[in-house]
Amino acid sequence: MNSNKYNEKLSHCTKAIIEEQLDFLNLKNAINDLKLLFEEVSEIDLHHPSAETHVFLKTGKAIGSKWAGMCVDDFMRTKRFVTGLYKAVKDTLQKNKNQPVHILYAGTGPFATLVMPLTTIFKPSELQFTLLEVNPKSIESLENTIKSFNAESYVKNIFQTDASTFNVPLPNSVDIVVIECMQHALVREPQVAITYNLVSQLNENVILIPEQISLHIALIDSEKKNNYLLNSKSTEIKLDFYTNIKPVFVLDKKTINNNSENIFPKIEVVLPKK
C-alpha cells in the first residue's frame, strides 16, 4: 500500500478521535484501526523477544516497544492526548502565524502515536516535531512509521536518548512539550524525571501536556465503586464513590519552578473521622 492510502486511513481515524461529540463505539473502532495501521506501517515484529525488552534507566523503566505500542489501546487516554495536542497547536498557530509550531515529544514509542495523526490536519510549514525515544527497537519502528506516511518533512530530529538527561537544542524554539512515559501512580516509568529535566530548560510560555498530573490520598466507598464498575451505563453515573482528601504529589510547571531543590517534599495527611 502506498503512502497516500496510509494517510487516508490515518485521516479517517484522526477525525473520529478529535470529534467533539463522544461516540464510544466509533472512537473504539477508530483506535483499533489506528493500532492495526501503525503495526502495519512500522513493520514491528511483536513476536520477537526484542520487542518486549525494557530499557532500565536510573530514573525508571522505559518499556519495550510492544508494550509502548499497546498504550494506543487505552482509547480515552489516546483521545485526550491527541485532542489536547490538536487544540494546543491550533491555539499556538493563532498566536504565531508566521512560523511552524514546534512540538518536543518525549517517549514516542514505535509509532509516535500522539503526533502522527496531526500530520493529516496541519502542513509541515505549520508543524514540526523533535522526537525523543531511548529504546533502539522503538526507534527502528518509528523511522519506518514516518517513512510510510511520507512525513519526513515534519521531523526536525529524532534522538535516541534518555529524555531525563537530554539537553534540548534551541530550547526557546519549543512551543509544546508532550511527555507520555507514565503508568498508574507514576510508579515505574520516568515521567517525573523527564518532566523536571525538560521543563526546566524551556521557556516559561511552553505548553506542557499533560498540563498537570496529581496524586491524591482518597477515601473509597467499595460498595459504590463495585456498583459503578458493574453498571453498563456507568459513563452516565456520577463518580461519587471516592472523596479526595489531599494531594500528595503534583507535577506541573508551577510546581517544578517552585520545587527544583525538593521534588518530593514531606506531606502529612490527616483523615477525617467520619
49-75 pLDDT, tens per residue? 555 556 555 666 655 555 444 566 677
| SS3 (DSSP) at 272 | coil
CB atoms within 10 A of CB 229: 9
Tens of pLDDT, residue by residue over 68-99, are 445 666 778 889 999 999 999 999 999 987 89
Tens of pLDDT, residue by residue over 151-179, are 999 999 999 999 999 999 999 999 999 99
The reported pLDDT for the residue numbered 67 is: 43
Start-end of H helices in the chain: 3-18, 24-42, 65-70, 75-95, 136-148, 191-199, 222-230, 253-258
The reported pLDDT for the residue numbered 234 is: 47
With contact defined as beta carbons under 8 Å apart, do 185 and 215 qualify? Answer: yes
Residue 182's region, left for phi above 0, alpha for psi from -120 to 50, else beta, is beta
Cα-only R_g, the chain: 20
Angle at 70 between CA 67 and CA 72, to 5 degrees: 140
Q: Where does CATH 3.40.50.150 sit in the chain?
A: 3-211
CATH placement of domain 3-211: 3.40.50.150
Reply yes or no on whether the pLDDT at 122 is more than 60.
Answer: yes
Please give the mean pLDDT across all residues of the chain. Answer: 85
